[in-house]
Chains A and B, each alone.
Chain A
Amino acid sequence: MLPLTLANLKMMARNRSTTFWALFFPLLLVVVFGLFEFDGFGSASLTVVDEAKTPNSQLLIQSLSELEFLRLQNAGGGESAARAALEKGDLDYLLLIPAGFGEAPSPDPGSTSAGVGLLVNANNVEQNQLVEAAVRHLVAESLSKEGPGDGAESVPPSVSPASLSIESVAVTQVRYFDVVLLGLVGLGIMSNSIISIAVKISTYRSQSILKRMLVTPLPIWKYFAAEIISYLMLAVIQAAIILAVGVFAFGAHVPGNLLWLLVLVILGSIVFLNIGFILSAWANTPSAASGMGNAISLPMMFFAGTFFSTASLPWVLPYLAEALPLTPMLSAMRAVSIDSASLWEVWPQLAVLTGWVVVTGLAAIKFFRFS
């Protein structure tokens, strides 16, 4: 078994196209995501906690929602949940409208109506200036009107400092690049494991190399063990190179335990290798195997949340996405390496992945054919 494993590794090293595609595509994406600053792009998210529920507060929310660069998110769990989201970096802005907002202030300047609070992510300096200015303007505008029906009044908008307080919240920011880097590790392993084993085995079958192995006394489980071990080693090397480029060339932050990450990489690779074995049984030619491998790995790449969160997908798609083997692999990989979780904390993902190992393993044994 050892000579066969070593021979497999030797062949992989000599087969430049395998090595190239195992690394080229993921590394290209690492470079793309590393060079472009995706964190600065797009709209910022804002949650409004409205305790006033007055015409003025409604007007404020209405005008905020019309701003193109702000995306209003529902405050599902109230102020505390929104604060937590902000601290985790999941939310960019939190606007607190206190009870009594917009009601006629008492003539005493010392007792103005309660001020609006804007909580911002301290990391987004440039964006914060823009959003602060916009919110300040809209708060003033909404206060200057008595209500929606009273828009004729043309008092220039101004707001007393007391009516808008800004709080900058220190956020342990997770960069999008860190998240996507782990996605790319998973993507590289998935597509390489599925496609290269499917192509290799169908090539070996069409050239009778599998049969040639069968006429030797080598027990067949040793043959598969050698194939799987050599591909697992390739997957680990692949993961190490992609991570290293992300960390050293583009400053990704991967503080977690690499040993846990290794466990997840191996577990995930076994699932994808099994899928590759299954495909090789269905494909009659190597090119059919390659096509099938792509047909499975490309949709999985998107639906497993390699690049984008799949939570906003319509219909039952988010649940389907959860069921894909790459999804728990990626979420567990991100948890252990970015949030420094331990393996025990990601047990649900581990359980799903292990289930996939068993199911695909049994299917591979059932469907595999030598000729």
Chain B
Amino acid sequence: MEDAIRVEGLTKRFGSFTAVDDVSFCVKSGEIFGILGPNGAGKTTTLEIIEGLQRPNQGQVSVLGLDVLRQPAQIKARIGVQLQSSAYYDYLSLREILVLLGSFYPKRLAPDPLLKQVGLLDQATQRVKHLSGGQKQRFTVAASLINDPELVILDEPTTGLDPQARRNLWDLIREIHQRGVTVVLTTHYMEEAEALCQRLAIMDRGRLVAVDTPQNLINRLETTYTVKLVVPAPLTEDQIISLNGGVSSIQTVERNTYLLRLHQAPEALDTVLQTIVGSKIRLDHLEIGPVTLEDVFLELTGNELRD
């Protein structure tokens, strides 16, 4: 199947600042593809180039087989876009906004079934400002679907939502995906990327660090377990050094809370536990957990751990 998006050697500079630095990746038709990274990683700039809002300094981008620089109007007609924190007209109702947006497209859906799908049919005559945060985000997703697109691009769709609203939105995104729509989304929530995306691109400071399935990314890591310690009093230097013996890294999460990342379980786990007993470290809490995308991200990009 043809790739929904092909990005090759994409570079975008703003003055002397390089927002996107030689990024290449493909999005396959019919998948949910996530771009994960902290704020300022270049996710939004990458999306805006794909959407035709910005011109790249270097590189080729094609969407649905069309070149973004040469055929932007044809692309725009076939994709749906949800912008980060985009508001809508204050003085129109939800239904009127959808009708208006639909009028810009050659092909459009009826507004009411769309509102029904996102659970906002009862609010059809209300204004956007009267919606809750979760309803607002669901509405912007509905608005991105008005032209029955083959590809939707969602920029941080769940930022600022409470956990319940976030899960509702995940369900909505899965539903859209099941109808055969390719979904590209950005997020800085690891668990969101892990829960939703079939493939992930990890970006940091304008660079693409890795592209793979969430599980492959996790499997790639040297770290196999994490151990979280909560102690009544801060550990001494000596205690930290002795713990570090069998551990790849130790991070002070908060005062009295430490996170250990282990390389070779179960040997390392054994060493850590013995050290704890041997150096008479008193524990309030001990937690042994699997590796998450959070760890992947830190290992691939971060030096926070090794500072």
Choose one: B84, B89, B90; the contact of A7 (CB below 8 Å).
B89
B172, CB-defined interface residue at 8 Å:
no
**In the complex, which residues of chain B have a beta carbon less than 8 angstroms from the beta carbon of A207?**
86-87
Chain B contacts with A in 83-107, Cβ cutoff 8 A? 83-92, 96, 99-101, 103-106
Contact status A3-B103, CB under 8 Å: yes
B263 within 8 A of A: no
Contacts of B286 in A (CB 8 A): none
User: What is the interface of chain A mostly: helix, strand, loop, or mixed?
Assistant: helix
Contact among B73, B88, B99 with A209 in the assembled complex (CB-CB below 8 Å): B88
Closest to B106 in A: A217
What is the distance, in angstroms, from B156's C-beta to the closest C-beta of chain A? 13
Q: Which residues of chain A have C-beta atoms less than 8 A from B83's C-beta?
A: 208, 211-212, 215
CB–CB B103/A212 < 8 A: no
What's the nearest-Cβ distance from chain B to residue A100, in Å? 77
B81 CB–A CB distance under 8 Å: yes
B52 near A215: Cβ-Cβ < 8 Å = yes
B91 touches A211 (CB 8 A): no
A216 & B104 in contact (Cβ 8 Å cutoff): yes
Does any Cβ of B come within 8 Å of A11's Cβ?
yes
Residue-by-residue, is A10-46 near B (CB-CB < 8 Å gives 1, otherwise 0)? 1100110000000000000000000000000000000
Verify A217–B87 contact, CB threshold 8 A.
Answer: no
A214 interface contact, C-beta 8 A = yes
Report the Cα distance A211→B44, complex, angstroms.
Answer: 13
Q: Does A245 contact B (CB under 8 A)?
A: no
Contacts of A218 in B (CB 8 A): 104
Question: A217 and B105: CB pair below 8 A?
Answer: yes
A346 at the interface (CB under 8 A from B): no
* Residue of A217, A219, A371 ringed by the most chain B CB atoms within 10 A: A217
Q: Is A70 interfacial (CB 8 A cutoff)?
A: no
Q: A207-B86, A212-B83 are in contact. Are A7 and B100 (CB under 8 A)?
A: yes
Q: Is A324's CB within 8 Å of the partner chain B?
A: no
A267 within 8 A of B: no
* Inter-chain contacts of B104 with A (CB < 8 A): 4, 213, 216-218
A11-B92, A208-B83, A212-B86 are contacts. A217–B77 as well, Cβ < 8 Å? yes
- The chain B residue with its CB closest to the CB of A13 is B91
Q: Are B91 and A10 in contact (CB under 8 A)?
A: yes
Q: Are A11 and B89 in contact (CB under 8 A)?
A: yes
**B205 at interface by CB-CB < 8 Å:** no
B81 touches A209 (CB 8 A): no
Complex CA gap A215/B73 in Å reads 9
Q: Most A CB atoms within 10 A — which of B74, B87, B105?
A: B87
Is there a chain A Cβ closer than 8 Å to B51's Cβ? yes
Given A4-B103, A7-B100, A217-B104, does the pair A209, B87 have CB atoms closer than 8 Å? yes
Residues of A within 8 A of B87 (CB): 207-209
Q: How distant is B36 from chain A, measured CB to nearest CB, in Å?
A: 22
Expressed in whole angstroms, the minimum distance between the Cβ of A12 and any Cβ of chain B is 8
Judge whether B298 is part of the interface by a CB distance below 8 angstroms. Answer: no
Is there an interface contact between A215 and B51, defined as CB atoms closer than 8 Å? yes
Known: A4-B100, A10-B96, A217-B105. A211 touches B86 (CB 8 A): yes
Once the chains are docked, how many angstroms separate the CA of A14 from the CA of B91?
6
Q: How far is the CB of B192 from chain A (nearest CB, A)?
A: 22
B76 within 8 A of partner (CB): yes
Chain A residues positioned under 8 Å from B106 (CB to CB): 217
Given contacts A3-B103, A4-B100, A211-B83, contact A217 B88 (CB under 8 A): no
Complex CA gap A216/B100 in Å reads: 11
Minimum C-beta distance from A113 to chain B (A): 78
Q: Which A-chain residue is minimally distant from B140 (CB atoms)?
A: A212
**Are the C-beta atoms of A3 and B100 separated by less than 8 Å?**
yes
B283 at the interface (CB under 8 A from A): no
Structural contact, B73 and A217, CB atoms closer than 8 A: yes
Do the beta carbons of B53 and A214 come within 8 Å of each other?
A: yes
B92 and A10 contacting across the interface, CB-CB below 8 Å: yes
Contact assessment for B99 and A3 in the assembled complex, using a CB-CB cutoff below 8 Å = yes
A208 touches B103 (CB 8 A): no
Contact code string B88-128 (vs A, CB < 8 Å = 1, else 0): 11111000100111011110000000000000000000000
Tell me whether B92 and A7 are in contact (CB under 8 A).
yes
Which residues of A sit under 8 angstroms from B103, Cβ to Cβ?
3-4
CB proximity of B50 to chain A, nearest CB, Å: 10
Could you tell me if B91 and A216 are in contact, using CB atoms closer than 8 angstroms? Answer: no
Our pick among B53, B73, B89 for the contact of A211 (Cβ within 8 Å) is B53
Identify 24 residue pairs between A and B in the complex whose beta-carbon atoms are under 8 Å apart, listed by A's number. Answer: A3-B99, A4-B103, A4-B104, A7-B89, A7-B92, A11-B89, A11-B91, A11-B92, A14-B91, A208-B83, A209-B88, A209-B89, A211-B53, A211-B83, A212-B83, A212-B88, A214-B53, A215-B52, A215-B83, A216-B101, A216-B105, A217-B104, A218-B104, A371-B53
Q: Given contacts A215-B83, A217-B76, list 18 more A-B pairs with CB under 8 A.
A: A3-B100, A4-B100, A7-B92, A7-B96, A7-B100, A10-B91, A10-B92, A11-B89, A11-B90, A11-B92, A209-B87, A209-B89, A212-B86, A213-B104, A214-B53, A216-B76, A216-B101, A219-B73
Q: Which residues of A contact B (CB under 8 A)?
A: 3-4, 7, 10-11, 14-15, 207-209, 211-219, 371
Interchain residue pairs A-B with the least CB separation, the first 10: A207-B87, A3-B103, A208-B86, A11-B91, A218-B104, A14-B91, A216-B104, A215-B81, A217-B76, A217-B77
